[in-house]
Amino acid sequence: MTREIEIIRAAQMCARNYGGENLVELAFKKGAEWADAHQPSPWISVEDRLPEDDLICEWVAVKLKGYPGWYKGYYSGTLWHYIDECGDEIRTFNVTHWMPML
């Protein structure tokens, strides 16, 4: 079954439950199209979760509060570390997002 057919069937089922098939079907289709066009970001907020044990002290990409771009860094279990533009290792609490490096 294609994604389009799944969306249509779900919209029709929803319409039968709530009435107004045309409006519900249109709203459901538009919502599904928007979700498909706006894929989730690969960046993980440090407020949502921190690296699990298998990634502690492993290199990840990090974003810092107030700085553009990203840096190479790791989480030590208590503190973030990153490598600055000069190649120096900096300890910080200012990491806002992280992402495993593939």
Instruction: Determine the 3-state secondary structure of 95 from DSSP.
Output: strand
Instruction: Determine the 3-state secondary structure of 87 from DSSP.
Output: coil
pLDDT tens for 76-94 read 988 999 998 888 999 998 9
Q: Where are the domains of the chain?
A: 3-37, 44-100
pTM of the model: 0.61
Quote the CA–CA distance of 50 and 57 in Å, as a whole number.
Answer: 12
Backbone angles phi, psi at 44, to 5 degrees: -110, 125
Question: Tell me, what's the pLDDT at 21?
Answer: 54
Tell me which of 51 and 2 has the higher pLDDT. 51
How sure is the predictor about 37, in pLDDT bands with cuts at 50, 70 and 90? confident
